[in-house]
Amino acid sequence: MAAEGHAPNASEYIAHHLQHLQNKPQASIVDFSVFNLDSIAFAVLLGVLASWLLWHVARKATSGVPGRMQSAVEWLVEMVDGQAKSIVHNAKSRKLVAPLALTVFIWVFLMNAMDLLPVDALPVLWQWVFGAAGHDPAHAYLRVVPTADLSVTMGLSFSVLILCLIYNLKSKGVGGWTHELLTAPFGSVKLSGNPLTWLGFVLLSFANVGMQLIEFVAKTVSHGMRLFGNMYAGELIFMLVALMGGAWALSATGIALFLGHIVAGTVWAIFHILIITLQAFVFMMLTLVYVGQAHDSH
């Protein structure tokens, strides 16, 4: 984290915690050959956990008086199914979309909830493992909140984009979707023997296709950036709160730092529970909305 015998300052502390465990150093701002191994590991682990949790509850479900976990999952299923029915009107599509939305909600919620763990808990444990393996523990980087990684949130939103394109083709056909690309949102010009109508048709078609592409890109970027921005900001605030406790521990003076660390950490953690739940719900709802729009014609 810092040079040997030198306690890290605030900038070094935050910079260390914001560094991913990667397969190789990043050479440029956009480098698709670099993989954030910590984000991948925690995202896959929590995805498996979410799937196992739903399978376990479904396997143990009874028709009698349900337990707390079964009641919670049944409430989630009913809530998601109700939202899916109001947005995706195609019954056949809902058979896939509703379970997908439920999985997305639980998966994103679990990834967001990693932010509630103590900031230094898993990184310090990893630092010990890294040092025990004979490596320099100062370079034991680990970030535990996958949704605070832009590559993860954009990967999720890009997956939703692919799903929307598939449903556009499935519900409208190649011809119907091509016609929509050329005629929405500005409409089209009725062709006739007048060459100006052909020119108008070509110009409007270019404008319509351009607007459709902008719409798809804007949806995808905003979908991923919204989740990333909220979770990244939350992660930074937890680090700042941790610095207050660190400053008090190092100086052993200033009771205000200690009280501020406890109060601020508690208040922000309680408030963050609302944030992680709301962001999971928003991501799920936008997924349903975008898939629902893929079934609608302009």
| Tokens, residue 81 | 């199914």
The catalytic residue among 36, 112, 208, 230 is: 230
The catalytic residue among 171, 188, 205, 226 is: 226
Task: Answer yes or no: 226 catalytic.
Answer: yes
Can you say whether residue 89 is alpha, beta or left, with left for phi > 0 and alpha for psi between -120 and 50 degrees? alpha
The answer to whether 143 and 21 have CB atoms below 8 angstroms apart is yes
Task: Answer yes or no: 168 catalytic.
Answer: no
- Which residue, 111, 294, 279, is CA-closest to 216? 294
List the end-to-end C-alpha distance of the chain, in Å, as a whole number: 55
Type of residue found at 282: V
What residues contact 5, with CB distance under 8 A and at least 6 apart? none
CA distance 46 to 135: 27
Q: How many CA within 13 A on the CB side of residue 62?
A: 6
The catalytic residue among 71, 194, 222, 297 is: 222
The answer to whether 90 and 292 have CB atoms below 8 angstroms apart is no
Backbone angles phi, psi at 61, to 5 degrees: -65, 140
Backbone angles phi, psi at 267, to 5 degrees: -65, -45
Task: Answer yes or no: 222 catalytic.
Answer: yes
> How many C-beta neighbours within 10 Å does residue 235 have?
22
Residues serving a catalytic function are: 222, 226, 230
